[in-house]
């Protein structure tokens, strides 16, 4: 099998959402060992949104069901959709998949821009109707920069956990096994995560 790490490296130079402080790491030598101090917010780098992030109630990042984040996953290439991914870009392509990752043209981007790829309300409603357990994307947010939170609320309110700012630059469209594990931060709205895809080799 082939393991593909789709987590963005997290450092002081990691691209950040406007208004969010960039991660700050400092390391000190304590004699027998090195130890580091970390300062970052709960949505730094590749991260997972818990329902409480936009619903302000429900599961926090330490209580979200891990079943949503581990299992078969479908990567869909929507690079031709541009910045706005609608239901028409997804309809007829989802099959029975419950964990969906959207590959846009943003994976190699290292700077913020307001027109980053995102899904629309009708796409979110389609995914909810599909019973999607998890939706990931390689841009800053599943929702447009100027928004009212309705896309987040539609997904999170219907049991779909959100993963944002993935790196899908080395991933082709297709079926994989996914493992996405956030830090178990008690009572918080989100957390950085390590996300990997496993591609099983075809039997000879």
Is residue 201 very low, low, confident or very high in pLDDT (cuts 50, 70, 90)? confident
Q: For position 202, what pLDDT does the model report? A: 64
Q: For position 204, what pLDDT does the model report? A: 41
How do residues 24-49 score in pLDDT, each as one tens digit?
999 999 999 999 999 999 999 999 99
| pTM of the predicted model as reported, rounded to 2 decimal places | 0.95
CATH entry 3.50.30.50 includes domain 2-8+24-199: yes
SS3 assignment, position 197: strand
How do residues 140-196 score in pLDDT, each as one tens digit?
999 999 999 999 999 999 999 999 999 999 999 999 999 999 999 999 999 999 999
Give strand pairing partners of 48: 163, 191
- Helix ranges (H only) for 141-204 are 150-156
Q: What is the mean pLDDT of the chain?
A: 94
Domain ranges of the chain: 2-8+24-199
Q: What b/e readout covers 64-99, taking b as 16+ CB neighbours within 10 angstroms?
A: beeebbbeebbbbbbbebebebebebbeeebeebbb
**Locate tokens 């239901």: which residue?**
87
Contact between 81 and 106 (Cβ < 8 Å): no
Q: How far apart are CA 117 and CA 79, in angstroms?
A: 9
How do residues 72-81 score in pLDDT, each as one tens digit?
999 999 999 9
| Helix then strand then coil, % of the chain, to nearest 5 | 15, 30, 50
């Amino acid at each position: 099998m082939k393991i593909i790490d789709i987590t963005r490296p997290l450092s002081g130079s990691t691209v950040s959402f406007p208004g969010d402080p960039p991660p700050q790491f400092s390391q000190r030598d304590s004699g027998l060992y090195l130890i580091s101090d970390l300062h970052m917010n709960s949505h730094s780098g590749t991260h997972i949104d818990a329902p409480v992030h936009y619903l302000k109630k429900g599961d926090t990042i330490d209580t979200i069901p891990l079943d949503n984040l581990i299992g078969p996953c479908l990567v869909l290439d929507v690079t031709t959709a541009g910045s706005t991914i609608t239901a028409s870009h997804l309809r007829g392509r989802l099959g029975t998949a419950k964990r969906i990752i959207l590959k846009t043209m943003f994976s190699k981007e290292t700077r913020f821009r307001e027109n980053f790829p995102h899904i629309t309300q009708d796409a979110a409603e389609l995914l909810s109707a599909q019973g999607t357990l998890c939706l990931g994307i390689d841009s800053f947010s599943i929702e447009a920069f100027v928004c009212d939170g309705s896309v987040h609320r539609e997904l999170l309110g219907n049991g779909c956990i959100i993963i944002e700012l993935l790196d899908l630059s080395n991933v082709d469209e297709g079926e994989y096994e996914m493992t996405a594990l956030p830090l178990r931060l008690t009572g918080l709205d989100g957390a950085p995560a390590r996300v990997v895809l496993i591609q099983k080799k075809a039997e000879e």
